[in-house]
Amino acid sequence: MTNFETINHPDFLIRGGSVAPVKVKPARRKRRTKFKLVPPKQLGKTWDARFKKSQFVRMHFNNEHSQLSGVHCMWAFVGHKWVHLSTSRGSVRFKMKRADYERMKPEVLA
């Protein structure tokens, strides 16, 4: 015995016959493009020129800089005496001696 025989349903609610299956197309996934690391722009003529040749590094700051502490990903331009550093978005920029920079053992990410 089926459900519609035990309960009095109106005829327009009872589905009779076979219903054609609806074809559903599988959802297409977009190709994921690899993230390209780009140094910050519009920081001034001298900073822009330096960051064209910079490296993206991970550094751990203890007491070397007053605004930063802990692990940070930064853009570093290593010169002869000085290393010019900037946070990944360019909000904090400073320079430090190359000897201090090498003592911190930065890890190059890209």
Residue, of 83 and 3, whose pLDDT is higher: 83
CA distances from 66 to 37, 69, 93 (A): 26, 8, 12
Q: What is the pLDDT of residue 21?
A: 72
Predicted pLDDT at 5: 59
Provide the mean pLDDT of the chain: 80
With the C-alpha atoms ordered 52, 53, 57, 59, is the resulting torsion angle positive or negative? negative
Of the two residues 94 and 14, the one the predictor is more confident about is 94
Model confidence over 4-58: pLDDT tens digits? Answer: 556 777 777 777 766 677 777 777 777 777 667 777 777 777 878 887 888 889 9
Place of tokens 């003592």: 103
105 pLDDT more than 80: yes
